[in-house]
Amino acid sequence: MAYLRLEGITKRFGNFIANDNITLSVSRGSIHAMLGENGAGKTTLMNIICGLYQPDAGDIYLEDKPIKINSANTAIAHGIGMIHQHFMLVSQLTVTENIILGTEFDLRLNLQAKSRAIAQMAHSYNLDIDTLAKVESLSIGLQQRVEIIKALYRNAKLLILDEPTAVLTPPEVEVLAGILRQLARDGHTIIFISHKLEEVMNICDTVTVLRRGQVVTTMKTADTSSQELAKLMVGREVLFQVHKSAFSCGDVVLEVKNLQVRDERNLPIVKDVSFQLRAGEILGIAGVDGNGQRELADAIALLRNIFGGSIQRYPSPGERGRGKSIAYIPEDRQKMGLVMGFSIAKNLILKAFNFLPFCRRWLLQYGIINNYAAEAMQNFDIRAENPSIKVSHLSGGNQQKVVLARELSGNPALIVAMQPTRGLDVGATEYVQQCLLAERQKGAAILYISTELEEVMAMSDRIAVMYEGQFVDILDADTATVEQIGYLMTGGKVSTGVIE
Ligand SMILES: Nc1ncnc2c1ncn2[C@@H]1O[C@H](COP(=O)(O)OP(=O)(O)OP(=O)(O)O)[C@@H](O)[C@H]1O
ipTM of the complex: 0.97
Mean pLDDT throughout 222-249? 80
Greater model confidence, 405 or 237: 405
Predicted confidence band of residue 144 (pLDDT cuts 50, 70, 90):
confident
pLDDT in tens, 310-343: 999 877 554 544 345 789 999 888 888 999 999 9
- pTM across the whole model: 0.79
Task: Report DSSP letters for 407-428, one per residue.
Answer: HTTT--SEEEEESTTTT--HHH
% of the chain surpassing 70 pLDDT = 95
Q: How does pLDDT run across 109-138, given as a tens digit for each residue?
A: 778 888 999 999 999 888 889 999 998 888
Q: Which of 394, 431, 432 to mutate to test the pocket of ligand 1 (most atoms within 8 A of CB)?
A: 394
CA distance linking residue 451 with residue 468, whole number of Å: 14
For the chain, what percent of residues have pLDDT higher than 90? 51
- Is pLDDT at 481 greater than 50 in this prediction? yes
* Burial of 107 (C-beta count, 10 Å sphere; 0-12/13-18/19+): exposed
Rounded distance from Cα 394 to ligand 1 centre (Å)? 5
Ligand 1 centroid to 222 CA: how many Å? 29
Q: Choose the weakest-confidence range: 29-43, 105-119, 189-203, 363-377.
A: 105-119
Q: pLDDT tens digits, residue range 208-217?
A: 999 989 999 9
Residue nearest atom 16 of ligand 1, based on CA coordinates? 41
Residues having CB within 6 Å of any atom of ligand 1? 13, 16, 18, 36, 38-44, 383-384, 393-398
What digits encode the pLDDT tens for the residues 32-55?
Answer: 999 998 889 999 999 999 999 999
pLDDT at 240: 63
For a mutational test of ligand 1's pocket, the pick from 47, 393, 400, i.e. the residue with the most ligand atoms closer than 8 A to its C-beta, is 393
Residue 118: half-sphere exposure toward Cβ, Cα within 13 Å = 29
CA-closest residue to ligand 1 atom 6 = 393
Distance of CA 344 from the midpoint of ligand 1 (Å): 14
Q: Which residues contact 351 (CB under 8 A, 6 or more apart)?
A: 325, 406, 410
Ligand 1 centre and the CA of 340: distance in Å?
A: 14
Sequence letter at residue 93: L
- pLDDT class for 496, splitting at 50, 70, 90? very low
Any idea which of 50-54, 97-101, 314-318, 472-476 has the lowest mean pLDDT?
314-318
CA of 426 from ligand 1 middle (Å) equals 17
Write the pLDDT tens digit of every residue in 250-294: 889 999 999 999 987 888 999 999 999 999 999 999 988 788 999
Pocket test for ligand 1, best of 35, 43, 165 (most atoms within 8 A of CB): 43
φ/ψ region of 69 (left if φ > 0, alpha if ψ in -120 to 50, else beta) reads beta
How far away, in angstroms, is 40 Cα from ligand 1 center?
7
Residue 324: per-residue pLDDT = 58
Question: How many angstroms does the Cα of residue 285 sit away from the middle of ligand 1?
Answer: 31
Question: Measuring from atom 19 of ligand 1, which residue has the nearest CA?
Answer: 39
